[in-house]
Structure 1
């Protein structure tokens, strides 16, 4: 009888141990915690604007024909010795100012991206060459200032070559535009310029973020 009592006690202890083990597992499963992290990513702003009226704030606007804007119209001034229209050997000059618009968040490099012009068959596209120079904002675009290494050249209006990059050194802020760069165009008529033809050329400039 004593042996059976001892066995019952042992079984009772083992049963209690099993119950205790289950209780511990349940308690551990109920302990958990989580951490979450979130981030917001805001893209910067970038805009190049131009002016044909000099480095005056109110004169700047967008001239991106790909976005439906009209190209800026350059009014080339004929030298005093030229009356009316161009003749073979004449050179005309005009300035165009570009800068990073207020709100632009990075600096940029500027490059002449190419030229489109009137069909050569009906114009003097093949008889007009050009050079473009980067000047200081306050300089006057003329024969005296259009010197040094041009940022782009073309033996004809549809044959651009010699492209170099121009840094737009000072970027804009949220409330102020960047420092302007004046581009000086010098267009030269060759010796075989044809009489009576009107020729239209459109130059494209591309600014690329440096950051």
Structure 2
């Protein structure tokens, strides 16, 4: 009888110890979960950003010409363009006659880049093939038999010459027009000039901007 009681007591003690151990394990597990959550919170990071914005705009570009002494510069963007004033009557030519006309080009005050100008010409009419020309660059505006200057286009150039010459133009400073390039156009009638025949010659001064970023 006493043996049964002792065994019962031993069983209860064992059960109680098992219960305590399970409680300790649960407490440890619960503590581990709490520690795990705490570790996750410490992984948060600071965040910051920087932004940069570029603002862009286009410049301006315009070529203008002058055809008379003391005259204003203006645009002549399409053919036939400016009417040249020749010093000798150009409508009553005979073989070997020479006529002269001044012209000037520059970049206007709004232009924001330099330019390279390419010169070409187109002749039309019965006597176009019987005319040749020469162009000089001069210090002042004007052109006649006494004019001297640098040779831009050689004498004897055909009126149908493409890309006959190039020259530079510089933009003006502080919203001013650029310095002009003064030209003297000299046209010579050939020996084969047809009586009563007409001709027109159109010179094109094609300006191309020169980028400041090149």
Q: Same fold (TM over 0.5)?
A: yes
Q: Distance in 2 between matches of 1:19 and 1:160?
A: 84
Please say if 1:3 is aligned against 2:21: yes
Q: Distance in 2 between matches of 1:209 and 1:33?
A: 44
Show structure 2 runs of 5+ residues with no match.
Answer: 1-16
Paired residue for 1:143, among 145, 152, 159? Answer: 145
- 1:46-85 mapped onto 2 (5 Å cutoff): 46-54=61-69, 56=71, 59-65=72-78, 71-78=81-88, 85=92
Please say if residues 134 and 166 of structure 1, whose CA atoms lie closer than 8 Å, have aligned partners that are also in contact: no
Deviations for 1:91-146, whole angstroms, at most 9, x for unmatched residues?
1000011111001111222220x222224xxx20110001112111x253123324
State the Cα distance separating 1:148 from its structure 2 match. 4.3
SS of residue paired to 2:39 = helix
Calculate the TM-score normalised by the size of structure 2: 0.79
SS of residue paired to 2:160 = coil
SS of residue paired to 1:142 = coil
Deviations for 1:21-76, whole angstroms, at most 9, x for unmatched residues?
34335x44xx43332221111111111100112355xx1111011xxx75000121
SS of residue paired to 1:149 = strand
Deviations for 1:8-28, whole angstroms, at most 9, x for unmatched residues?
232122111222234335x44
Corresponding position of 2:172: 172
Show structure 1 runs of 5+ residues with no match.
Answer: none
User: What is the root-mean-square deviation of aligned Cα atoms in Å?
Assistant: 2.5
SS of residue paired to 1:151 = strand
Please say if residues 171 and 177 of structure 1, whose CA atoms lie closer than 8 Å, have aligned partners that are also in contact: yes
Q: Distance in 2 between matches of 1:173 and 1:41?
A: 22
Q: Distance in 1 between matches of 2:128 and 2:58?
A: 42
Structure 1 residues 146 and 191, CA gap change in structure 2 (3 angstroms): farther
Paired residue total: 193
Q: Distance in 2 between matches of 1:191 and 1:105?
A: 47
Corresponding position of 2:205: 205
Q: Distance in 1 between matches of 2:148 and 2:200?
A: 22
SS of residue paired to 2:28 = helix
Which of the pair has more CA radius of gyration?
2
Range with greater deviation from structure 2 (189-198 or 138-147): 138-147
